[in-house]
Amino acid sequence: MTEATKSWIEAANAADCEFPIQNLPYGVFSVDGQAPRCGVAIGDRIVDLAACEAAGLIDAGGTFSQPQLNDFIALGRAKWDEIRAALTALLATGGNSATPTVAMADAKLHLPIRVTEYTDFYASRNHAFNVGVLFRGPENALPAQWTHIPIGYNGRASSVVVSGTDVIRPMGQLKTDDGPIWSPCKRLDLELELGAIVGAPSELGDRVSVDRAESMIFGYVLLNDWSARDIQAWEYQPLGPFQSKAFATTISPWIVTQAALEPFRSEGAERLNPLLPYLHETRPGFYDLNLSWSLNGETLSRTNYNVMYYSSAQQLAHHTSSGCPMRVGDMLGSGTISGPAPDQTGALLEMTEGGKKPVKTGDGDRTFLQDGDTVTLNGYAQGDGYRVGFGPCTGTILPAKE
Ligand code: CA
């Protein structure tokens, strides 16, 4: 792999730029109403990968002219490495200044992948404990199996949307003392998560080791698992969340590759007991990633991905433990990422203790989200003089369709 620290695209060299040459995240963009195609973010520009292919600068079998990255990702890890090395050479100082790019300000960003299936996990001990206290009391807060098994549920791929898409407040059944009512959700929340994008398939009946699972991950996005807490509280037992999570999941437009995050590999949370052998990992599977979320531009919480108990590779390995096959474009949500303190929580449910302690903001007190509120997730890994970021993952709440 070519090592490069600076680009001829000057904006990429600023210390606080989230898209330096060390990052090169993949997305899908369009300009002037033309067909969406694949691109890579660098500085304040997007490399037009379809045009690069047409010009013979790179070769990905024509996959970059597709309106999502699935076909490129399916080409496999050797091709991922080859294209990353080629782009690094083109974009480095002294590279090819005729590489086709467009101004990011002129581009519309689209969903980067066709999400094949979506599974969401529950891997922050702080979050699992805090939410458990609110739903079941402190004695039963952390379920007995939690320190042994990555807990998850099968979510909906059909409602995964790209950053910038408005989110309509869901209608649903809410519990009252007089029985359920049909109502707009009154306890609408965010969940700050990381999403792992699966880049290689496994066969039906095939169990995948944690090491192999890691080699199957193409990259990561920021993920907001919007949650209707009142609908959830009424519906979730015994089979887990359903309509409370099905109405929208927002992801960042840029997929930061595993290769770009490699320098930031980190230990996760301390193990409370030994894991069964099929969940053993030979090296730490977490990253030192600074994460935060803001409400209407005001940052309310900061945490780090390395507080998590199960890595995406462990979650993926567990997902195949029954023989369940994985496919290119599957997305695994990490679970809400929360540190121990209220200003480190990844959801309002925890921050406000179930709505009992409103959080003060410049826009007034909040327990849960109001119509018109905009929530933005941010995340980056801090290198020596550069940062590898995701770009914002944002959504604004629209009133319910009553
Ligand atoms: Ca979640």
The stretch 352-363 carries a mean pLDDT of 95
**Annotated catalytic, 318?**
no
pLDDT of residue 1: 45
At residue 399, the pLDDT reads: 98
The domain ranges of the chain are 3-110, 118-398
d(CA 165, CA 47): 23
β-pair type (364-366, 359-361): antiparallel
The 8-class DSSP code of residue 10 comes to: G
DSSP-derived secondary structure letter, 66: S
- What's the CA-to-centroid distance between 115 and ligand 1, angstroms? 17
Express each pLDDT in 106-155 by its tens digit.
999 999 999 999 999 999 999 999 988 988 888 889 989 999 999 999 99
Q: End-to-end distance of the chain based on CA atoms, in angstroms?
A: 55
- Nearest by Cα to 363 from 266, 295, 282: 295
Coil, strand, or helix at residue 91? helix
* Centre of ligand 1 from the C-alpha of residue 162, in Å: 17
Given this model, what pLDDT does residue 134 score?
87
Higher pLDDT, 133 or 394: 394
Q: Report the b/e string of 57-88 with b at 16+ CB within 10 A.
A: bbebeebbbbbbbbbbbbbebebbebbbebbb
Tokens 């109405």 sit on residue: 247
Whether the per-residue pLDDT at 2 is higher than 50: the answer is no
Distance (Å, rounded) from C-alpha 127 to C-alpha 200? 30
Each residue's pLDDT tens digit, 16-62 = 999 999 999 999 999 998 999 999 999 999 999 999 999 999 999 99
Protein residues placing their CB within 5 Å of the ion ligand 1: 120, 191, 225
Cβ-contact 45, 103 below 8 angstroms: yes
Phi, psi (deg, nearest 5) at residue 397: -80, 125
* 121 C-alpha to ligand 1 centroid (Å): 6
Q: How far is the CA of 132 from the centre of ligand 1 (A)?
A: 14
pTM of the model: 0.97
Is 118-398 a CATH 3.40.50.620 domain? Answer: no
- Between the CA of 224 and the centroid of ligand 1 the distance, in Å, is 8
Q: Does the fold of domain 118-398 match that of domain 3-110?
A: no
Q: Of residues 110, 127, 318, 319, which has the active-site annotation?
A: 127
Q: Residue 191: is it exposed, middle or buried by C-beta count within 10 angstroms (0-12/13-18/19+)?
A: buried
Output the CA 163–ligand 1 centroid distance in Å: 17
Tens digits of per-residue pLDDT, 223-274? Answer: 999 999 999 999 998 999 999 999 999 999 999 999 999 999 999 999 999 9
Q: Where are the alpha helices (DSSP H) in 222-334?
A: 229-235, 243-246, 258-261, 312-319
Specify the pLDDT at position 136. 86
Question: Rounded to the nearest whole angstrom, what is the distance from the C-alpha of residue 187 to the centroid of ligand 1?
Answer: 15
Contact between 102 and 317 (Cβ < 8 Å): no
Alpha carbon of 322 to those of 250, 317, 325: distances in Å?
Answer: 29, 10, 9
- CA 119 / ligand 1 centre spacing (Å): 9
Given a cut of 90, is residue 282 above it in pLDDT?
yes
Q: Are 371 and 185 in contact (CB under 8 A)?
A: no
Distance of CA 82 from the midpoint of ligand 1 (Å) = 34
Q: Could you tell me the pLDDT band of residue 181, with boundaries at 50, 70 and 90? A: very high
Q: What is the pLDDT of residue 3?
A: 65
* Ligand 1 center from residue 44 Cα (angstroms): 32
Which 3-state string (H, E, C) describes 294-321? EECCEEEEEEEHHHCCCCHHHHHHHHCC
Q: Does residue 238 have a cis bond before it (omega within 30 degrees)?
A: yes
Count other Cβ atoms within 10 Å, centred on residue 26.
27
Cα 76 to the chain's mean position, in Å? 21
Average pLDDT over residues 291-298: 98
The number of angstroms, rounded, from the C-alpha of 73 to the middle of its chain's C-alpha atoms is 17
3-110: CATH, from 3.40.50.300, 2.130.10.10, 2.30.30.230, 2.60.40.10? 2.30.30.230
